[in-house]
Structure 1
Amino acid sequence: MTERFDPGGLGKWTDESRFEVTRERLIEYAKATNDPIPAHLAGDVASPVFAIVPVFESLMEPALEVVPVGLFGRIVHGEQEFRFHRPIRPGDKLVSRARMTGYEGLPNGTRGTIHLECRTDDGDLVNEQYVTLFVRGFDTGETRGELGPDHKFDEGLRAQAPVAKVNQHVDDDQTYRYAPAAGDPMPIHLDEEVAKDSGLPGIIAHGLCTMAFTSWALLTEVAGSDVDRLKRFAVRFAKPVLPGQDLTTRIWRAGAGSYAFETTVGETVVIKDGLAEFAE
């Protein structure tokens, strides 16, 4: 294959996309992720991973400038990181844009980073996001630009007991509730046949839905359910989660206001390299 990533597309911002936040949409998202936090269920403030919704339209657009179109079917969402400057609230009028900042060819594929920023229509920064995409089975043969920030789990933390362990259940209808709430209608989450044709065992949960579960696990256990305190939240998606499965998230203290976490289904790690940083 002679296709190559185009470094000339790095750093190019997409056109701005706009999103007006309603209380109803915040409530719908909280319910779709089984979020128990009263302020989220009332729509007074967004749950953290709702931040993906206003930028979703721009999520993959920058990759069109860099990744050959013929490889788009091989792209998977590898990692997600949020940097929160303030929470999203009802009535916010948000403006988002995105750019691809770098990529790295590896023996089993190529990973790339998309940087998104979300502002109010007055220009105040609300959040930044780093999306790591992975193009399976294609090594572009070089490294260019900048990749996303590191949030690797410190294996030395396993020598100490977790400060918390949270058990959660993914409902059988979770994907059907999450898809409209998030604006993510990808058929592998909704159509059994399409999922199996893609090599999956069946419908899988949205990775960002699983990430939302972990966010409220952290908030309720170590932050008094106060989303204003959350400043950074990052994960690596390790394995798909299926509707009906049970999640266990273990949380370790990693420093002042910093917590590492990992989520499993049985013995299988589904979310790894989890990191949450809170204002003290």
Structure 2
Amino acid sequence: MTISAQSILDFPIPKATQVVSARDAILYALSVGYGTDALDDQELKYVYERDLVTAPTLANIVAHPGPWMQQTGVDWTRLVHSEHRLTIHRPVPVDVPLISRSRVLSVVDRGVEKGMFVSFERLIATADGDQPVATIVQTNACRSDGGCGSAGSTPEPLSKVPDRPPDFEFNVDIPQNAALLYRLNGDLNLMHVDPQAARKSGFARPILHGLCSFGYAGYAIVAAIDPSMATGLSSIAARFSAPIFPGETITLQMWRNDAEVRFRGLVAPRGATILDNGIARLS
């Protein structure tokens, strides 16, 4: 298949539907850090079906159209998630039919040697009544598919975090089996579980899903600012700047300005910044 920027821009991403169960919501919450202290009532509400509260970043896995970019002709083994933006209009409801509609926003060609970036938007709403639940803008880096040209309108770039020491830090330990658990939410890409597939994709060993680290960041922001876990998020966005491996510790650095929180995630022993240009808004 001949790849062109226009053919990707025009690709008809399929609609997707889902009814999120309490089990779905609990599994997701457990896979991004909630419930670490099983005796903490503030965390228990995210992982216990009685009076269940859904995690703010749950929408990331809801009504997903699947690996549609495989059908465009890109090298799927060399594709990675590079940036993610989530706007939360309301908490994801349980036992309510949901539908997502997606469209490609832009293709940015960086040249044959550098690959390209593809950004697409996913709108999630209730199937009955079309009430908005979340808006997601995802950017994928197609590392072996440069030279196809550019098309569409790119999202505004995320601004850098402040050039001063952070207001506070919060450490999150990522379990060794984090990728094995997170993949049960639906992302079965082999680079997160199979060592051979990871090496084929250019990594020494399986890497953590970008959206798993993103979910941990959402958890950490709320836990650091409000230990009662009563504060929510209305939006969160970040760039995936380096891979993180299961078993590592993320140090989330945060700068707060009222309801706005800028953040980045570090893996200090490697000197790696794994999340950058992060911005979240509290609700």
User: What TM-score do the two structures reach when normalised by structure 2?
Assistant: 0.86
Q: Does 1:171 align with 2:175?
A: yes
* Structure 2: gaps of 5 or more residues: 36-42
Per-residue CA distance 1:75-96 (angstroms, 9 max, x = gap): 2211111011011132222111
Taking the TM superposition and a 5 Å limit, the aligned residue runs for 1:118-267 are: 118-121=124-127, 122-140=129-147, 142-154=149-161, 157-159=162-164, 161-180=165-184, 182-223=185-226, 225-226=229-230, 229-253=232-256, 255-266=257-268, 267=271
Cα distance change on mapping 1:125 and 1:149 into 2, 3 Å: farther
Hey, which of these two has a bigger chunk of helix by percent?
1
Separation in 1, partners of 2:76, 2:180: 25
Taking the TM superposition and a 5 Å limit, the aligned residue runs for 1:76-115 are: 76-107=80-111, 108-115=114-121
Separation in 2, partners of 1:92, 1:39: 19
Separation in 1, partners of 2:74, 2:94: 40
Separation in 2, partners of 1:116, 1:196: 30
Query: What SS does the aligned partner of 2:180 have?
Result: helix
* Structure 1: gaps of 5 or more residues: none
* 4+ long deviations beyond 6 Å: none
Q: 1:38 aligns with which of 22, 39, 44?
A: 44
Q: 2:274 aligns with which of 270, 273, 277?
A: 270
CA contact (8 A) 1:59 1:98 kept: no
Which amino acid letter does the alignment assign opposite residue 234 of structure 2?
A: K
Q: Per-residue deviation at 1:60?
A: 4.2
User: What TM-score do the two structures reach when normalised by structure 1?
Assistant: 0.87
Q: Does 1:55 align with 2:63?
A: yes
Residue of structure 2 equivalent to 1:10 = 9
CA contact (8 A) 1:104 1:110 kept: yes
Cα distance change on mapping 1:199 and 1:12 into 2, 3 Å: closer
Segment of structure 1 superposing worse, 187-196 or 74-83: 187-196
Per-residue CA distance 1:245-267 (angstroms, 9 max, x = gap): 111100012x4411110101112
Which amino acid letter does the alignment assign opposite residue 178 of structure 1?
A: Y
Determine what percentage of the aligned residue pairs are the same residue: 21
Separation in 2, partners of 1:198, 1:106: 19
Query: What SS does the aligned partner of 2:105 have?
Result: strand
Separation in 1, partners of 2:26, 2:46: 7
Q: What root-mean-square deviation, in Å, do the aligned CA atoms of Structure 1 and Structure 2 show?
A: 2.2
